[in-house]
Structure 1
Amino acid sequence: MSFIARRAFSSTAYNAHKVAVLGAAGGIGQPLSLLLKLNKDVTSLSLYDLRGTPGVAADLSHIPTNSVVKGFLPDNEGLKKALEGVEVVVIPAGVPRKPGMTRDDLFNTNASIVRDLAKAVAETAPKAFVAVIANPVNSTVPIVAEVFKSKGVYDPKRIFGVTTLDVIRSSRFISEIKDTDPTTETVTVVGGHSGHTIVPLISQSSHPDISGETLDALTHRIQFGGDEVVKAKDGAGSATLSMAEAGARFAGSLLKALKGEAITEPTYVDSPLYKSEGIEFFSSKVTLGPEGVKEVHGLGKLSPYEEKLIEVAKVDLKKNIQKGVDFVAANP
């Protein structure tokens, strides 16, 4: 190997990272793992689930990118092995929503799953960035935080709720109204990740002129876009492909941050914005860096319409967060 080739190879290795997907054989996990396999910043991809992961790993391993893929099952300390040396952990594990179910209906099942996975991450990869997709995110992120606190390894800068699906939906839905290129539409979405806790800041987008019934309909569609998919799939699941894209995009941002790039996008984190009101977690624009959260940004100038949405969101958020905290206290 020439000196130039050696330098190029070592530079690539230096900039690449090990990622684990917990729940990798599921409806979100498989397409998410595919998208991460295609990410040039990933050199090692660990896939964990209760079943199916060796097959998913074998399938993905045939794709000619530089990452090595391994699948792990619960036996032989598979979860621990999957997490060893990992820098980014993405958790899409959990049961999907079915027609008529709210994200809160998912709570009892998914809370236990997330708690147990969080214990493993806290013990094996406590310094990893943890991106939580498992719903209800408003409650599962506090669950992860409480587990990490119980293990003495909590770092508020390293735990994230993935709200990127609300962001990409906003871009798409606005582009349909305005007949624009959705890739050029940037919308900040704040609050949480369910129903009325989702607050799109349309007044800060490129189309602050959207108002009246159009704004009402757009806001409702962004807040309840998941219901659209659940209904259309007619009992066969919830948003998996769009959520996989959202999860891969956010995981990609974390990988860029690890390389030293300053990336800013909305995510649900331990936030100072409304702590004085007892709301420990909130989604807003966050600048990411090599240590995780570099800066939590304020909401900027809100329209009176958005101020009302925020007040409604805070009521539900406070309850959702407490639900997660109480679950870990009652079920350590």
Structure 2
Amino acid sequence: MATLAEQVQGERMARIALSMIAEPNDPTTGYVLARHGGVETLRLIESDDEMPGLARADVLLWRERLAARVVPGLLDQVAQAERHGFGTLIPADKEWPAGLNDLGERAPYLLWSRGTVSFLTTALSDRATITGSRAATSYGEYVAGELATGLADEERVVVSGGAYGIEGAAHKSVLAASGQTIAVLAGGLDRPYPAGHSELLSRIGDVGLLVSELPPGAAPTRHRFLARNRLLAALSGATVIPEASPRSGSMTTVLAARELGRGVCAVPGPVTSVTSAGPNELIKQGFAVLVAQPSDVLALLDSNAPNRVVARSELGRNLGYRRPSSGAPGPSL
């Protein structure tokens, strides 16, 4: 019986298949893909070849994990996914956002898309990410909306994740201003999440852009949300946090932005508000620029001064963030 690598036709189909069997941000998959390309990566999954640079135990676990997902009819699922009408982008495409290449081995295998992919071809300074608490206050949603509107008025693309709270407020304000917005989802584009934002996300797909590294049919999970946050950071020249608790999942976007040398902005808020504790601490520690109006974000985006890259351990330690482990919960979403 032909192997999966023998059945796929070209790099695009190989990466589509890979997105169906490998979880996003998988370090071993990223390592192999960066060195060998999609078709060869599929072949190595089903082979016994040695893989220099990787521990044998890691390779065995990787092969066992991915080979279990190579099921009969997988390529039929690939064809069905393409028939949904969604586009795909791979690094060889001219529309592929160059900012994602800064992720190195953590770059997505491909992007599924619906909408105006030309939004991804602009300079990093033309895009700003706005993210934060789902349980936002009226203050946080108002500020997020004002910042998003101001950026839209200056023809900057607002990137966010489509969630309730801060992200929803940002998207809605951009659409109201007839601006440009991108929603980066943590599941398949045919499974809008949250369900309460189905109409909003459909509207973004019509006049803006929806993207995901997960294939159609994939459900959002905790891991996929946290993995998605690195894309929110990489796609923009700056990440803005209007509101978020110190242990919010949004803080992983801040960590990724700092590692990539991107700008980080935070909106100060009441010291009595837990949703302002995250931004206040970022400002206090000097890890974020204080912003109060759109022009502050624009100034950071347009600045040519390199951003100081702060190691994940340093930033996480100062914010009281602990990497998820078997005995400690990770940040809330």
Both structures adopt the same fold (TM-score exceeding 0.5): no
TM-score, normalisation: structure 2? 0.32
Quick one: higher RCO (CA 8 Å, sep 6+), 1 or 2? 1
- Structure with more of its chain in strand, by fraction: 1
